């Protein structure tokens, strides 16, 4: 069962990994990223951030979608984290999910600030608007104890 699909450019890190995993009662974290598998340093850091007793799986976006659609993830209380909005939208559409949690995206000169931790390009903003049209709820929330912000009110 998919507990949450989250966008966080840092993927898995300290307090967020522990607070979200605990909050969701997740027993498996799927890191869905097209760039992570090619970066040994990042792979090492996310492995170190894995909470004890929680299964950690790293796949690219397409392999993540195939795993979800095949049913092999059904036995887990699955927390999916991806580092891009585009990746999250692909997964949400393919898995027929109705919610995406926006936790953090990198700031850049070509990006518009939506909240204190969410920055989007024009293309990403268009993808988020597409989600809203497809009735995929977008919530901005860095940690579970923070109040959720409905992204529709910002877009």
Q: What SS3 string covers the chain?
A: CEEEEEEECCCCCHHHHHHHHHHHCCCEEEEECCCHHHCHHHHHHHHHHCCCCCEEEEECHHHHHHHHHHCCCCCCCEEEEECCHHHHHHHHHHHCCCEEEEEECCCCCCCEECCCCCEECHHHHHHHHHHHHCCCEEEECCCCCCCCEEHHHCC
pLDDT tens for each residue of 40-87: 999 999 999 999 999 999 999 999 999 999 999 999 999 999 999 999
pLDDT value for 17 = 86
List all residues 6 or more positions away from 45 whose beta carbon is below 8 Å from its beta carbon.
13
pLDDT value for 49 = 92
**DSSP β-ladder status, 112-113 and 119-120:** antiparallel
Average pLDDT over residues 11-40: 93
Bridge partners for 139 per DSSP: 101, 150
The rounded mean pLDDT for the chain is 95
Average pLDDT over residues 96-100: 97
pLDDT value for 14 = 80
- Residues 96-125 as b/e (b if ≥16 CB within 10 A, e otherwise) read ebeebbbbbbeeeeebeebeebbbbeeebe
pLDDT value for 27 = 97
Decide if pLDDT at 99 tops 80. Answer: yes
Q: Which domains does the chain have, with CATH numbers?
A: 2-153 (3.40.35.10)
pLDDT value for 141 = 95
pLDDT value for 16 = 76
pLDDT value for 118 = 96
């Amino acid at each position: 069962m998919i507990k949450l699909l989250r966008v966080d450019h840092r993927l898995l890190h300290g307090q967020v990994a522990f607070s979200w995993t605990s909050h969701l009662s997740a027993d498996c974290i799927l890191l869905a990223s097209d760039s992570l598998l090619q970066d040994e340093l990042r792979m090492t850091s996310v492995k170190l951030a894995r909470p004890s007793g929680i299964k950690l799986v790293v796949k690219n976006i397409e392999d993540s979608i195939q795993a979800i659609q095949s049913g092999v993830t059904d036995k887990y209380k699955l927390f999916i984290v991806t580092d891009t909005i585009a990746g999250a939208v692909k997964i949400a559409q393919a898995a027929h999910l109705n919610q995406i949690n926006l936790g953090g995206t990198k700031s850049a000169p070509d990006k518009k600030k939506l909240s204190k931790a969410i920055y989007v390009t024009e293309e990403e903003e268009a993808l988020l608007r597409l989600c809203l049209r497809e009735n995929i709820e977008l919530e901005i929330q860095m940690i579970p104890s923070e109040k959720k912000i409905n992204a529709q009110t910002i877009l």
